[in-house]
Structure 1
Amino acid sequence: MKKVIIFGGIGLLLIVVLLWFGKKNSASPISYDTEKAFKTSIVKKSTATGKVVPLEEVEIKPQISGIIDKIYLEEGALVKAGDLIATVRVVPNIQSLNAANGQVKNAQLAFDNAKVQFERNKKLFDKGVIARQAYENSELSYNNAKQSLYNAKSDLDIIKRGTTAGLGKTANTNIRATATGMVVEIPVKKGYQVIQSNNFNAGTTIARIADMTKMIFEGNVDESEVGKLIKGTNIDVAIGAIEEKKFPAVLNFIAPKGTDNGGAVQFKIKADVSLDDKYFIRAGYSANAEIVLDKRDSVLSIKESLLQFDRKTEKPFVEVLIGEQEFEKRKVKLGLSDGVNVEVLEGVGPEDEIKIWNKVDKQKSSNDDGEL
């Protein structure tokens, strides 16, 4: 009898243990949190990377080839049109110099001959031997020969020294500013050889002058967003070198043609930047422009992290709480998104509890870490 009681007690205990384990295993090991939809303003922005550059920048180039003899200004100096920047010492071309010397000698011979004829005809005219017409013709030849000799000597001086008597401030060896502004760059130094600007060569840049009071943003936007841009749109420009400050700007140019940049087609944009007198903006600062593409004010929204997508249709849905850790699948129609929040047009209301499917409740046991 005792054995029956003992075995019966053991069997009953075993049944109780099995029932307890079955109940425990049937319960869901994961407890999900929920969130409600909320109203907020959603702004979709595009960020264009680029730099801030002067609106007007002028390159100063020499009108004669030679060697930089002296530089009178430094980068950052303010100049007016006509101010002297540098001087060039001419290194004459041997072939041109030889030709100019030959022209001077020929002009000298012609002048000497014309002078002898003029003086002879003058004496004959004074004696009444020749007519006035012959005298005046010899005088004209003499004056022409004299002018030709002067011109030949001037050409020789220009080839030798880059200037000649009487040119004054217009001498080709004096490199002067052609615009008012700040000298932002002087890429040459004393002793550098420079080439004149001509039809076949752009010439060596002596200096760059820019108006630093007028700056623009130049950047690039992706082809997927360029169609949404409108000229005249207000944008914010954030300059990397100036923290916690955004400069207002107005979009004034969108390139009609894109360029291939690493497989992605991008379009250049420009915007006039409104400067702040408290900050000195240097040419070439890297900057980012935030452009508002679309905006919704006070609309019903949810976090994008709450969305799930059907594997077959790839359409979005959420899971809504209908009981104790019981959820039902609901398809949703979405609107504008800013990458964090998304507008909900249909599917859920402000009272619905939406499952946070990718976040596990803190009360879950440590044995279940990593499960979804």
Structure 2
Amino acid sequence: MNKILKYSLIGLLVLGALWAAAFFIKSNSKSAVTYETMKPFIANIEKKTVATGKVVPEDEIEIKPQISGIIEKIFLEEGAEVKSGDLIARIKVVPNEQSLNQARGRVRNAELALNNVTIEYNRNKALFEKGVISNQDFNNIQLQFDQAKQELSNAQSDYQIIKRGSAGGSASANTNIRATVDGTILEIPVEEGFQVIQSNNFNDGTTIATIADLTKMIFEGKVDEGEVGKLKLGTPLKISLGAIEGKELDAKLRFIAPKGVEETGAVQFKIEGDVEVDDDVFIRAGYSANASMVLEKKDSIMVIPEALLQFDNKTDKPYVEVAVGNVEDQKFERKDIEIGISDGVNVEIVSGLTKDDEVKQWNKTEPIKKGEEEEDSEESEE
């Protein structure tokens, strides 16, 4: 019985050894990885950068009142097309009681002064007609009489302006807020009943409306300090709008800020570009946009895909591996190269390669056949 058990164990060990040997032979019989190659080729390379920003009107005009008061009526809405002189809103004047009282008192004083001068004028006129006083004396009285009448007229006008906002109800009264330019109303930040302050030397005043010409748009964006030195005025831009897919607008760079602003650890420079607006595209003020611009361009140069490059661990210089002899022999040697500009896909070869060199493609693995994949799956399950 012990012999049978002993022989059984020996038989199992032999079978296990044979199975392991077969598995090892089968695993090592698979073909080695075959690397494909690629020759350098001639292409054009453009090095581009993208600036993020927005599209805004070239000029935005803020309409402000010339008198303080309360918005009585708004006649237009945001988005309305206006011409210069169109009525936008009307202000109801709420006079200051102290100023109104002072103006009323000035009118009364002017009336009293005029009454007194009128009496003197009538008396001296009668004397002048009788030849009692000289012509010079009468002219002085005439001047005082005319000045008193003018002072009363001025006081009455000031009183009407303080009380009603205008003198004589003229068509250009300060209470009527009108457009000063042609364009589109972008914003009306006030509503009926809002109190507004006039524009003066000490206060900008309350904005009644903002008007801009949406046919004259510019791109405002920022670029990094590492790229701003390569930009030139007049450089063509391609503007893509986030709100309008598949549509690019042409533009030209017109301004580069002389001073940068530090943002999140990087210095950014403001740029502006004149946008050519198509008639079939309606662009709203403030659309977010990206501007693509060419920093450097070379035509008809020898290039290879960037994926073929390797970099030395010590010197960090680029190199590739080139096939020696026939490609089928899968023998490669290292070649140090000098590279130029890159567009992120292809890179310029300045020196180190010829157009006939077969450059090794890295990270290529041999495809697994279907039968082998099933066998490997079964072996892993066991």
Which category describes the TM-score, using the shorter chain as reference length?
Answer: 0.7 to 0.9
The one of 158, 182, 186 equivalent to 1:155 is: 158
Alignment match, 1:330: 335
Alpha-carbon displacement from aligned partner over 1:99-131 (angstroms, at most 9, x marks no partner): 222222221221121112112222333333333
Alignment match, 1:3: none
Shift of 1:239: 1.5
Q: Which amino acid aligns with 2:224?
A: D
Q: Which amino acid aligns with 2:360?
A: K
Shift of 1:327: 2.8
Unaligned runs of 5+ in 2: 1-12, 377-382
Q: Which amino acid aligns with 1:120?
A: R
Determine whether 1:128 maps to 2:131: yes
How far apart in 2 are the matches of 1:225 and 1:361?
Answer: 42
Shift of 1:43: 1.0
Alignment match, 1:70: 73
Please, what TM-score do these two structures have when normalized by structure 2? 0.85
Please, what TM-score do these two structures have when normalized by structure 1? 0.87
Shift of 1:349: 2.9
Tell me the secondary structure at the aligned position of residue 224 of structure 1.
helix
Tell me the secondary structure at the aligned position of residue 148 of structure 1.
helix
Contact 1:33/1:361, CA 8 A, preserved across alignment: no
Shift of 1:186: 1.6
How far apart in 1 are the matches of 2:349 and 2:231?
Answer: 25
Tell me the secondary structure at the aligned position of residue 361 of structure 2.
strand
Tell me the secondary structure at the aligned position of residue 77 of structure 2.
coil
Alignment match, 1:278: 280
Determine whether 1:353 maps to 2:355: no
Q: Which amino acid aligns with 2:62?
A: E
Q: Where in structure 2 are the equivalents of 1:1-372 lying within 5 Å?
A: 21=24, 30-165=33-168, 168-322=170-324, 324-363=329-368
Tell me the secondary structure at the aligned position of residue 100 of structure 1.
helix
How far apart in 2 are the matches of 1:209 and 1:119?
Answer: 58
Greater shift in the superposed pair: 344-353 or 276-285? 344-353
Q: Which amino acid aligns with 1:207?
A: A
How far apart in 1 are the matches of 2:115 and 2:196?
Answer: 40
Contact 1:90/1:160, CA 8 A, preserved across alignment: yes
Shift of 1:159: 0.9
| Count of matched residue positions in the alignment of Structure 1 and Structure 2 | 357
Unaligned runs of 5+ in 1: 1-9, 368-372
Shift of 1:301: 1.4
CA change 1:330–1:240 in 2 (3 A) is: same
Tell me the secondary structure at the aligned position of residue 362 of structure 2.
strand
Alpha-carbon displacement from aligned partner over 1:20-58 (angstroms, at most 9, x marks no partner): 958966999655443333322211111111111222321
Contact 1:59/1:207, CA 8 A, preserved across alignment: yes
Q: Which amino acid aligns with 1:327?
A: F
Q: CA RMSD for the aligned pairs?
A: 2.9
Contact 1:33/1:360, CA 8 A, preserved across alignment: no
Tell me the secondary structure at the aligned position of residue 82 of structure 1.
coil
Alignment match, 1:6: none
CA change 1:321–1:176 in 2 (3 A) is: same
Q: Which amino acid aligns with 1:335?
A: G
Alpha-carbon displacement from aligned partner over 1:234-284 (angstroms, at most 9, x marks no partner): 221112222212111111111111112222111111111112111112221
How far apart in 2 are the matches of 1:141 and 1:127?
Answer: 21
Q: Which amino acid aligns with 2:344?
A: G
Alpha-carbon displacement from aligned partner over 1:114-149 (angstroms, at most 9, x marks no partner): 112112222333333333332222222111111101
Tell me the secondary structure at the aligned position of residue 151 of structure 2.
helix
How far apart in 2 are the matches of 1:54 and 1:118?
Answer: 64
Greater shift in the superposed pair: 123-132 or 46-55? 123-132
Tell me the secondary structure at the aligned position of residue 204 of structure 1.
coil
Alpha-carbon displacement from aligned partner over 1:292-325 (angstroms, at most 9, x marks no partner): 1111223221221221111110111122233644
Q: Which amino acid aligns with 2:271?
A: I
How far apart in 2 are the matches of 1:116 and 1:28?
Answer: 130
